[in-house]
Structure 1
Amino acid sequence: MNEKEGKLLKIYDGSAPVEEDLFERSYVNHLAWTLAVLFGGLVIWLAIALVNAENQRNALATGQCADPLFKGELDKKCLVMVRSRDHWWQHLWYGMTHLQQSNLK
């Protein structure tokens, strides 16, 4: 190899691919992200359950689902469909801030 070829090869030496970087590597921790998504879904599911339970508890506490035919009984269809407060976040806020058990009469 003569001097000109040596200089030419030296110039283009940096354009050769680095063999360590030829294959893609993922630096994302898939286990951590999977657990984060699962726990986020669990928190949302528990929040929905708390909203539904607090909605029914408030309806029972305020007497909104009394059966019109049988005095002292509950209308179970009403408990499924009742909206005892204006917004869902009011149920969530009340359920998260009032942790003591209330006594229903």
Structure 2
Amino acid sequence: MSEGERKVLEMYEGARPREEDLFETSHVNHYAWSLAVILLGLVVWLCIALVNAENQRYALMTNKCPDPVFKTGIDKACLYTVRSREHWWEHLWYAFIHVKPEHK
């Protein structure tokens, strides 16, 4: 390699991309989106659990699952399949609005 070629190569050496920084990625945004998705999944799971609990509570309150043998008992198998209100969002809405128990 001649002296002129060496000077030209040295002159353009700074313009070459550095290979160690070529594929640099930031994980900060991935962590934030992952946390948001996990929290959204947790909220959905808690809403489903709240709807199921309110469905069973309202079924017990309105006596929709009486035991066929013992009149004062409760049919626990019925509690898993009963639909005490027409739509699931009615359970969710009632549970969000009525946070404290009603006093009679």
TM-score (normalised: structure 1): 0.73
In structure 2, runs of 5+ residues without a counterpart are: 5-11
TM-fit CA distance, 1:27: 6.9
Q: Count residues in correspondence.
A: 92
TM-fit CA distance, 1:44: 0.4
Aligned alpha-carbon RMSD (Å): 2.3
In structure 1, runs of 5+ residues without a counterpart are: 2-12
**2:67 matched residue in structure 1:** 67
SS at match of 2:73: coil
| Ranges of 4+ aligned residues in structure 1 off by more than 6 Å | none
Closer/same/farther in 2, CA of residues 35 and 27 from structure 1, 3 Å limit: closer
1:100 and 2:92 are equivalent in the alignment: no
Taking only the aligned residue pairs, the percentage that are identical comes to 60
**2:31 matched residue in structure 1:** 31
Q: Within 5 Å, give how 1:42-81 maps onto structure 2.
A: 42-81=42-81
TM-score (normalised: structure 2): 0.73
Distance 2:66 2:88 in 1: 22
